[in-house]
Amino acid sequence: MEMIQEIVGYSIRYLVSTGFLLLALWLMVKIQKFQYNFLGLLGSAALAGGLDMIPYVGHYLALPTLYLCLMKVTREDMTGAIFTAGISYALVFVMNLFLLGSLMGDLRPSFLQAREAEPKAQEATEETETDVETNQSVAPRQAANAASVAPDKAQAAPQSSLAPAGLTLRGVIKSSKNPMAMISSRGKTYTIAIGESIPLQGADKSAKATLETVEDSSVIVSIAGEKVVLKR
């Protein structure tokens, strides 16, 4: 089984390298307007690609072989063959880099964090919409209950000062370099990093909440100089 996998791997590598080299040779021959035949170029690329896969000495055998093949196919002198082969190998190197970059994708941390945060933000938005609908249905009942609460009990409530802010913690993204939090404010969900702020929708349009600390299940935000702890 391992031998079959090795054979398949070497075959794919040979086909890719031969295809890239054939394309580069064809482009150089067309640009320089050399006479050629396609089967000759294909044989030259196939022979050079096969020799190039020999460990240690393969590349040193492939280059002079490719020079001789190009001189035979294009009927040009050694200078033209060397120039065509050299530029073709440079083009093959660029193609390999492009292929490798395409397979690896974008590895920037910010891009990966944004991709991880998208489904969480979508779930948080759906939960926020559900909460808004629930709050609208129970708002008249809460207003009646609030009117019957005694003044001393209303002052004793620890979260009463946070009611105008309307902040809700929807999730956290722990990262050693750039931890972030998803905070909902009046039906809108924001994803912010430490030091960033979100506007508070209330009477004071300039009021903002700034993220200071991100823990596993809680965050600390600063509102008008007052630190507030939000928990999930």
> CA dist 217 to 115, 168, 181, 197, 214, Å?
21, 12, 10, 19, 8
Instruction: Specify whether 118 is located in the same domain as 70.
Output: no
Q: Which of 59, 86, 104 is the last residue of a domain?
A: 104
pLDDT of residue 68: 92
Instruction: Specify whether 122 is located in the same domain as 210.
Output: yes
Domain that holds residue 219: 109-137+162-231
Q: In what order do the strands lie in the sheet with 167-173?
A: 167-173, 180-185, 188-193
pLDDT of residue 130: 66
pLDDT, tens digit only, all 232 positions of the chain:
778 888 888 888 889 888 898 999 899 999 998 988 889 899 888 998 888 888 888 888 988 999 999 899 998 888 988 998 889 899 988 988 888 888 776 656 555 566 666 666 666 666 666 665 665 555 555 555 555 554 444 443 344 344 445 788 888 887 767 788 888 877 788 888 888 888 776 646 667 888 888 887 888 888 877 888 888 7
Q: Is residue 152 part of a domain?
A: no
Instruction: Specify whether 33 is located in the same domain as 91.
Output: yes
Instruction: Specify whether 80 is located in the same domain as 173.
Output: no
The candidate with the shortest Cα–Cα distance to 169, out of 124, 201, 133, is 124
Instruction: Specify whether 129 is located in the same domain as 99.
Output: no
What's the sign of the alpha-carbon dihedral 20, 22, 25, 26? negative
28-35 long-range contacts, CB within 8 A, separation 24+? 28/84, 28/87, 28/88, 28/91, 29/74, 29/84, 32/80, 32/84, 34/74, 34/76, 34/80, 34/84, 35/74, 35/75
d(C-alpha 49, C-alpha 22), whole Å: 9
Reduce the DSSP state of residue 225 to 3 states and report it: coil
Number of domains present in the structure of the chain: 2
Instruction: Specify whether 33 is located in the same domain as 56.
Output: yes
